[in-house]
Structure 1
Amino acid sequence: MRGTRIAVVTFAASLALSGGVVPALTAAAAPGPTAKYIVAVHPSADPGAVAADHERSRGASVTHVYRHALTGYAASLTPAAATSLSADPRVAAVLPDRVVRMSAQSVPPGIDRVGADDSSAVAGDGRGAVDVDIAVLDTGLDPKHRDLNVVGGVNCIQGNNSYLDLNGHGTHVAGTAAAKDNNIGVVGVAPGARLWAVRVLDAGGSGLWSSIICGIDWVTAHADTIEVANMSLGGSGGEGSCTDHGLREAICRSTSAGVAYVVSAGNAATNAAGFVPATYEEVITVSAITDFDGQPGGVGTPTCQIGYDDTFANFSNYGPDVDLTAPGVCVTSTWRGGGYRSISGTSMASPHVAGAAALFLSTHPGATPAQVRAALRDTGTTNWVGDPDTTQEPLLNVASL
């Protein structure tokens, strides 16, 4: 956390994406301390049946079964039991689970700066709603917030059956993407778009890799309804592949199903190439700029923190994996409990682009995630300064969408 800024989700351990399995043991698993694992099974096998069998034969305590974005399950197992699973011909890979942590009606300056008040939705005119569905994979949403059109969701955090936001981060992200145009509070880039709460982080902003895959799996199962997914989270890790049996494979399958994923670049002020999912080719990765007045020119007065208007945010990750930039400093949006708050981070930049993706899809239904990314990049501008690398990513501009 940097000042009052909520940091983008950071993995507590490196997410090295390994497609291999642990060497086999012939001995039966002995009782002992357990750890958390993700078990990928071959597509020809029923993951539910395999999980049930491993509960009986290996003492697995199953927490999630994946059928859509990944084929497999997550469970607590003794290390010996996890090792022995490679002897099962139905098992494709056994991966350690990882801990994750979160990253962080007026017309907010960011909404003005990206041209949402000039878009087809005319954000801020007090009427209309965007006919698109956005999933927010985060700390949950406040379903009773009068400025949000929350239509349902799922909880992927063990020990809790509710997708209610007990942190505030997810509700803030949702408001930037899609707060209603209702003459109260704030307005989002895609006003009134239907929001699906996908709770993958707990009240403290922590979660597990298995929970994130659970959320992606759920979104993929509803890909006929949900067109856009925002993930203001991430952490250090390798690029992986679409057959790594882990996070990358889940996102690959979900984007192939037609869901456009928008993710934050990260808040470590370094190259995003070392961060996942920001480095994945399938997602739209978003860095952050400072914007205090909603206008170009660099003359805005700092609001919630010190900085220079219309410059690259000093905390934002950068590099060739970044597709777009958007306002991410002192962003005012909805907060849990029906309130509003101003916070900073690439977590706040990402939902500007998720809302833009929804805007584009509202007039281009059926566009692929790659087409969405190309359209948003093509309409972007370069009226900002301070990019720390040699290639300046476009600043989101939805005025023509």
Structure 2
Amino acid sequence: MKKTMKALAVVALSASMLMPIHGVQAQGDFDDFKKEQMSKRGETFRVLITANTEGKIMQLQSTYELRNEFDGNAYTTDVTAKQFEALKKLPDITVEKVDVLSIQMEPGSLEVSQDVDAMAASQSVPWGIKAIYNDNTLTSTSGGSNIRIAVLDTGVNVNHSDLYYNAEQCKDFTQTASMVNNSCVDRNGHGTHVAGSALGEGGDDRRGVYGVASNAKLWAYKVLTDSGNGYADDIANAIRHAADQASAQRVKVVINMSLGSQGESSLITNAVNYAYSRGVLVVAAAGNDGYAPGTIGYPAALPSAIAVANLENRQEKGTYRVANSSSRGFSNTTGDYVIQKGDVEISAPGSSIFSTWYNGGYATISGTSMASPHVAGLAAKIWAENPSFTNVQLRANLQNRARSYDVLGGYYAGNGDDIAAGFGFARVR
């Protein structure tokens, strides 16, 4: 049975109040992340060690404990600054710091809706879901049966009344072990919010939140800590795990990553390429560093991932408007309808998005983090209706849908393929 929802009051939180125990950190609070790591392991950080031989790697692991292993001759470990300097002096190896990625939401945009009965009933189908269905009278959603949406994030409250029945996997990649099964606790809120937009199913009383594909199954993979940050190797490990699970179970999987960084991590690039080559569709938040050109973050900037821009709930030039904060692609690729590194591909609702929250209630947040799960949910819905599609064909279908709704509002938005909205707004109909 699902838990009964209880009434509370609506509280708007300023950016200064966004502590992890109470909710989302805007873009991830790196200072809190460093404190987390120091409290767990002392003053350490993560490094990637690559050696010429597997024997050398095994020898190093006797001193530097294995965290995640990649391709036999490379692995990650946590070291002190002194150990890092010592490793750099060793022959026949290379050592580099592992990148940190963060949630992709707009600073100060969090509003926690704790009057559950009143707020949820009035927003069971939030504006973004109605927009992507192109139906302002929509009262419920459907679709996504037999499709898995892997939400790689801060974890998910899989006991939330609107997510409980759809939860199929719950795994934590942030612990000392490479993966902890049946653990994906979300003390931040971001991951639970993302999951609701993708596949919320309204709850027993049908007064809760509906996502785009309410019949899809949820794989909740915790790859970010409570501060909203996480190491690239843990994220890469989860991406590869989702792809391997898709193959082992012979199921179709859409990965959603509402996270990113400005720098490219080879670990994540290789993992995304691996997943895409094994038939998984990868969807990622474009980032919130707009509106200057050339600001798409990683992994969204990778050609094997779909970069999703953020649409506001307002009209400009007869269409929805791309938010100023939404990252833009490179100007020299405008109009080519070809996805290259650093391009935005599709746009979707991402501003003032109402969805599920980690405490069992609901919250409103803005950012490309919120736009990405709308596309992931749409992908799941289309895939369920077209089970013979490959992930490449599914992606082409999404692009064609986006072309039919060109987005003209916002800086750098214009006719055709542009650096703000990409191909356009992909919708159900």
> TM-score scaled to structure 2, two decimals?
0.72
Distance 1:327 1:393, change over 3 A: same
Q: CA deviation at 1:394?
A: 3.7
Q: Deviations over 1:43-100 (max 9, x none)?
A: x95xxx87543222xx112222346xx9742112422553366626xxxx54311233
C-alpha contact 2:51 2:57 (8 A) present in aligned 1: no
Distance 1:367 1:196, change over 3 A: same
The structure that is helix-richer by fraction is 2
- Residue 67 of structure 2 corresponds to 63
The answer to whether residue 328 in structure 2 is matched with residue 318 in structure 1 is: yes
Paired letter, 1:229 = I
1:106-125 equivalence runs, <5 A = 106-115=124-133, 124-125=139-140
Identity of aligned residues (%): 32
Q: CA deviation at 1:357?
A: 1.0
The answer to whether residue 341 in structure 2 is matched with residue 341 in structure 1 is: no
Q: 1:200 aligns with which of 223, 233, 253?
A: 223
The answer to whether residue 125 in structure 2 is matched with residue 101 in structure 1 is: no
Q: CA deviation at 1:214?
A: 2.0
Q: 1:134 aligns with which of 122, 131, 149?
A: 149
* 1:187 aligned counterpart, secondary structure: coil
Q: CA deviation at 1:398?
A: 2.9
Q: CA deviation at 1:368?
A: 3.3
C-alpha contact 2:51 2:73 (8 A) present in aligned 1: yes
Distance 1:159 1:124, change over 3 A: farther
Between the aligned partners of 1:271 and 1:7, the Cα distance in structure 2 is 22
Q: CA deviation at 1:370?
A: 3.0
Aligned-residue CA RMSD in angstroms?
3.3
C-alpha contact 1:335 1:341 (8 A) present in aligned 2: yes
Between the aligned partners of 2:209 and 2:128, the Cα distance in structure 1 is 11
The answer to whether residue 87 in structure 2 is matched with residue 82 in structure 1 is: yes
Distance 1:34 1:339, change over 3 A: closer
- Residue 382 of structure 1 corresponds to 406
Between the aligned partners of 2:244 and 2:192, the Cα distance in structure 1 is 23
Paired letter, 1:79 = F
Q: Deviations over 1:111-149 (max 9, x none)?
A: 01111769xxx9744767632101001000001012111
Paired letter, 2:234 = S
Q: CA deviation at 1:164?
A: 0.9
* 1:61 aligned counterpart, secondary structure: coil
Between the aligned partners of 1:6 and 1:374, the Cα distance in structure 2 is 34
Q: How many residues align?
A: 349
Q: Deviations over 1:187-231 (max 9, x none)?
A: 111113111111111111122122211221221221223510000
- Residue 352 of structure 1 corresponds to 374
Between the aligned partners of 2:128 and 2:362, the Cα distance in structure 1 is 15
Paired letter, 1:151 = E
The answer to whether residue 179 in structure 2 is matched with residue 155 in structure 1 is: no
Unaligned runs of 5+ in 1: 13-32, 300-308
C-alpha contact 2:153 2:257 (8 A) present in aligned 1: yes
Between the aligned partners of 1:72 and 1:156, the Cα distance in structure 2 is 18
Distance 1:332 1:82, change over 3 A: same
Between the aligned partners of 2:301 and 2:413, the Cα distance in structure 1 is 16
Q: CA deviation at 1:150?
A: 1.3
Between the aligned partners of 1:157 and 1:341, the Cα distance in structure 2 is 25
The answer to whether residue 422 in structure 2 is matched with residue 393 in structure 1 is: yes
Q: CA deviation at 1:396?
A: 3.0
The answer to whether residue 159 in structure 2 is matched with residue 144 in structure 1 is: yes
Q: Deviations over 1:2-42 (max 9, x none)?
A: 96896446989xxxxxxxxxxxxxxxxxxxx8642123568
Between the aligned partners of 1:322 and 1:315, the Cα distance in structure 2 is 14
C-alpha contact 1:6 1:103 (8 A) present in aligned 2: no
Between the aligned partners of 1:11 and 1:249, the Cα distance in structure 2 is 25
Between the aligned partners of 2:158 and 2:145, the Cα distance in structure 1 is 18
Distance 1:10 1:298, change over 3 A: farther
C-alpha contact 1:6 1:343 (8 A) present in aligned 2: no
* 1:379 aligned counterpart, secondary structure: helix
Between the aligned partners of 2:151 and 2:73, the Cα distance in structure 1 is 22
- Residue 25 of structure 1 corresponds to none
Distance 1:265 1:257, change over 3 A: same
The answer to whether residue 273 in structure 2 is matched with residue 247 in structure 1 is: no
C-alpha contact 1:129 1:180 (8 A) present in aligned 2: no
Q: CA deviation at 1:277?
A: 1.2
Between the aligned partners of 1:146 and 1:341, the Cα distance in structure 2 is 14
Distance 1:197 1:79, change over 3 A: same
C-alpha contact 2:296 2:328 (8 A) present in aligned 1: no
Paired letter, 2:104 = S
Distance 1:181 1:34, change over 3 A: closer
Between the aligned partners of 2:387 and 2:379, the Cα distance in structure 1 is 11
Q: 1:229 aligns with which of 251, 255, 258?
A: 255
C-alpha contact 2:188 2:226 (8 A) present in aligned 1: yes
Paired letter, 1:37 = V
